Amino acid sequence: MGKTLAYKILENHLLEGELRPGNEITIRIDQTLTQDSTGTMVYLQLEAMDVDRVKTELSVAYIDHNTLQTGFENADDHAFIKSVARRHGILFSKPGNGICHQLHLENFGVPGKTLLGSDSHTPTGGGIGMIAIGAGGLDVAVAMAKGAYTLTVPKVLGVKLTGSLKPWVSAKDVILHVLQKLTVKGGVGKIVEYFGEGVSSLTVPDRATITNMGAELGATTSVFPSDENTRKFLLSQNRQESYIPLCADEDAVYDEILEVDLSSLTPLAAKPHSPDNVEAVSEIGPIKVDQVAIGSCTNSSYTDLMKVAAILKGKKVHPDVSLVISPGSSKILSKLAQNGALADIINSGARIMENACGACIGMGQSPKSGAVSLRTYNRNFKGRSGTADAKVYLVSPETAALSAVKGVLTEGTGLEALPKIDPYEDFPFNDNFIVYPEGCDVNNTPVEMGPNIKPFPRNTALPETVSAVVTLKASDNITTDDIMPSDSRLLPYRSNIPHLSDYCFEAIDKGFPQRCRQYGGSAIVGGENYGQGSSREHAALVPLYLGVKFVLAKSFARIHRSNLINSGILPLVFADPADYDKISLEDELVIENAPKQVMEEYITLVNKTKNESYQTRANLQEMEKAMILAGGKINMMKQQ
């Protein structure tokens, strides 16, 4: 029986365990990345481990989220990250260099390597043939300290591609189609692997768009083969020595297969307020547009922006539309400036934003109240744009640029094809934004820590009896944005958990923090896919700080579940989902003989308020059980 590409790479990195779906394994991690929204906490945790140099082949600290400096807080965080990076042998990417995933693809991604990143869109690296996994910050800190990562072996879902894309249809439409078919829960517990003759028609930037937004499927990661397209991309970045060909065996067996005929696809859009709420642009119709935002780690490549420049050349952005564009890297912006495309973009009436995440994470460019905003981003959760009643649609760069000119949602089908763009033009080497840790170590490089940086909360060992009052009852698809909002108000405080605690669940229930403080020990009850979205572990650390003992839900998103366990918070799943309706706000829930029950298949939860009990599962692997018993991952490591 032939092997999938995903399992070939995992097998080559296997340190412990058997490579079978559902098993717990430990793999070697070759590379890590962090960004500054999660990075400060990562490096506080790394410092707590008392390590000298990182054990990975390469680790990079990127600054791309908190680049809006309206006070000292963000600059202090950047200085802290830079100092810790230099102490431990980590490369530091300065603000303005670009978005971590685009930069890593350009400068450091290597086919066949493993990459762990403290950002949910780390799977972008799968576009170049890596096993690139998004994880919580503590997992990334441990990977830097030990060079290893423990996970549950996913199944492999094969997406067989045939045909090739028609004009005005792009890679964004491919992943929107897959989301439409599989939903935001369809990839949970799976690696999505692309294969088939249609793969060769997609460039590396195309593939990176698809693997990037595969995070919205809930997948562990997504991966493409490494082939002639990969070689050309690496050659264009002056990194041809990193190329190796990689693919699945011809007789590889997949756990599931989804077939996609690329030639049958049309321009698509994800309607408010979910990435899987997908419909054809032609069916949505010419709705009036107020704002268009092009960029993000999904669609800020050189190819994407050259297409945008070609559409805007000689045209004028509609008077009623605000068009903002964020290039993915300093290399891309420099190339656009050199070849004249930047002038075409500016002359159309577009605004050029910094090479950063920016509006995608709610850091500026919030649309007006009630606005329709077309964005080439990866998420359109309600309120994520910074405007609660905005209607955000996710579209391709081609659809976005054309709509910005027309003033209404418009597809290009039937129009003259865009000029051919060479996706593999040569990019001169430039590392002027990279700070190398040469000659630095823990003995000669002190940590710079500003007053906004506070210690991260630590849990205690699991007691015999866990008693908690339900301080929040939530619906399905609660996002980490819902749990811990991320916008221009709060991003400067990512290193200050006490400050953030006042805003936990503020869009869902503003009374949540006060109830937590009132009752001491508390519990959260949620629906399906609890904790989807960003990898930010603040969505676990802030509830821990507020005294949350466990979360009881119908199902969990992968990264958030791991973050809860890392923090020593028990993630419980209803054995009977109907029990969700029986629990009310401020019910007192108790787990007796908690350490013993954690080791068993079922955990009985007693509702003392209503004098009834419920069967739940934690579905913990052996290492996860040890973490829960110890009160979190760091406590477990110190015990060991």
Task: Output the pLDDT for position 582.
Answer: 98
Q: Which of 30, 77, 119, 206 is catalytic?
A: 119
Pairing relation of β-strands 278-280 and 268-270? antiparallel
Instruction: Say how many residues make up the chain.
Output: 640
Task: Output the pLDDT for position 525.
Answer: 98
| Distance (Å, whole) CA 470 – CA 252 | 47
Task: Output the pLDDT for position 68.
Answer: 84
Question: CATH says 5-264 is which class?
Answer: alpha beta
- Ordered DSSP codes for 493-523: GTT-HHHHGGGTTTTT-TTHHHHHHHHSSEE
Backbone angles phi, psi at 198, to 5 degrees: -75, -15
Q: Do residues 535 and 136 touch, judged by C-beta distance below 8 A?
A: yes
3-class SS letters over 93-148: ECCCCECHHHHHHHHCCCCCCEEEECCCCHHHHHHHCCEEEECCHHHHHHHHHHCE
Q: Which of 65, 104, 538, 561 is catalytic?
A: 65
Report in angstroms the alpha-carbon separations of 288 from 17, 272, 319, 631: 55, 15, 12, 52
Determine which helix (DSSP H) or strand (DSSP E) holds 620, and give its type and residue range.
none
Task: Output the pLDDT for position 638.
Answer: 85
Can 64 be counted among the known catalytic residues? yes
Q: Do residues 116 and 135 touch, judged by C-beta distance below 8 A?
A: yes
Nearest to 93 by CA among 433, 354, 438: 433
User: Residue 573 half-sphere exposure, CB side, CA atoms within 13 Å?
Assistant: 14
Which residue bears the tokens 């680790």? 59
The SS3 call for residue 31 is: strand
Q: Do residues 129 and 226 touch, judged by C-beta distance below 8 A?
A: yes
Task: Output the pLDDT for position 1.
Answer: 80
Pairing relation of β-strands 155-162 and 256-261? parallel
Under 8 Å CB-to-CB from 333, ≥6 apart: which residues? 327, 342, 355
Sort 370 into a burial class: Cβ within 10 Å, 0-12 / 13-18 / 19+. Answer: exposed
Looking at the DSSP assignment, which residues form a beta bridge with residue 79? none
pTM of the complete model = 0.94
The SS3 call for residue 393 is: strand
Pairing relation of β-strands 58-62 and 31-35? parallel
Can 458 be counted among the known catalytic residues? no
Nearest to 142 by CA among 491, 623, 625: 623
Q: Which of 121, 379, 538, 561 is catalytic?
A: 379
| Distance (Å, whole) CA 569 – CA 560 | 11
Nearest to 20 by CA among 155, 130, 194: 155
Find out whether the peptide bond into 273 is cis, omega within 30 degrees of 0: yes
Q: Which of 64, 344, 481, 482 is catalytic?
A: 64
Q: Long-range contacts: 258-261, Cβ < 8 Å, 24+? A: 258/157, 258/158, 258/159, 258/160, 258/178, 258/181, 258/182, 259/159, 259/160, 259/162, 260/159, 260/160, 260/161, 260/162, 260/174, 260/177, 260/178, 260/198, 261/162, 261/163, 261/198
Nearest to 559 by CA among 121, 9, 10, 15: 121
| Distance (Å, whole) CA 161 – CA 182 | 15
Under 8 Å CB-to-CB from 511, ≥6 apart: which residues? none
- Ordered DSSP codes for 145-204: HHSEEEEEPPEEEEEEEES-PPTT--HHHHHHHHHHHH-TTTTBTEEEEEESGGGGGS-H
What DSSP state is assigned to residue 367?
P
Can 119 be counted among the known catalytic residues? yes
Q: Do residues 479 and 529 touch, judged by C-beta distance below 8 A?
A: no
Nearest to 404 by CA among 266, 267, 290, 499: 290
CA angle, 279 as apex, 275 and 283 as ends, to 5°? Answer: 150
Which residue bears the tokens 């030990």? 146
Nearest to 450 by CA among 70, 78, 111: 78
Under 8 Å CB-to-CB from 491, ≥6 apart: which residues? 37, 65, 66, 68, 74, 361, 362, 363
Task: Output the pLDDT for position 50.
Answer: 84
| Distance (Å, whole) CA 170 – CA 202 | 9
Can 231 be counted among the known catalytic residues? no
Q: Cα-atom radius of gyration of the chain, to the nearest Å? A: 24
Read off the tokens for 367: 């649309």
Report in angstroms the alpha-carbon separations of 45 from 23, 38, 146, 367, 556: 27, 11, 13, 36, 24
Task: Output the pLDDT for position 468.
Answer: 98
Architecture of the domain spanning 268-406: 2-Layer Sandwich (3.30)
Read off the tokens for 493: 């405080």
Q: Please state the domain extents for the chain.
A: 5-264, 268-406, 466-639
Domains 5-264 and 466-639 share a fold: no
Q: Which of 396, 534, 555, 567 is catalytic?
A: 534
Under 8 Å CB-to-CB from 337, ≥6 apart: which residues? none
Backbone angles phi, psi at 226, to 5 degrees: -100, 115
Average pLDDT of adjacent 10-residue blocks, the chain of 640 residues: 96 97 97 94 92 96 90 93 96 97 97 97 98 96 96 98 97 98 96 98 98 97 98 97 97 97 98 97 97 97 97 98 97 96 98 92 90 96 90 98 98 90 90 93 92 93 98 96 88 93 95 96 97 91 98 96 97 98 98 97 97 97 96 91
Read off the tokens for 504: 């936990």
Q: Which of 101, 536, 558, 561 is catalytic?
A: 536
Nearest to 216 by CA among 534, 453, 447, 462: 534
| Distance (Å, whole) CA 122 – CA 415 | 35
Task: Output the pLDDT for position 216.
Answer: 97
CATH of 466-639, one of 3.40.50.1820, 3.30.420.40, 3.20.19.10, 3.30.470.20: 3.20.19.10
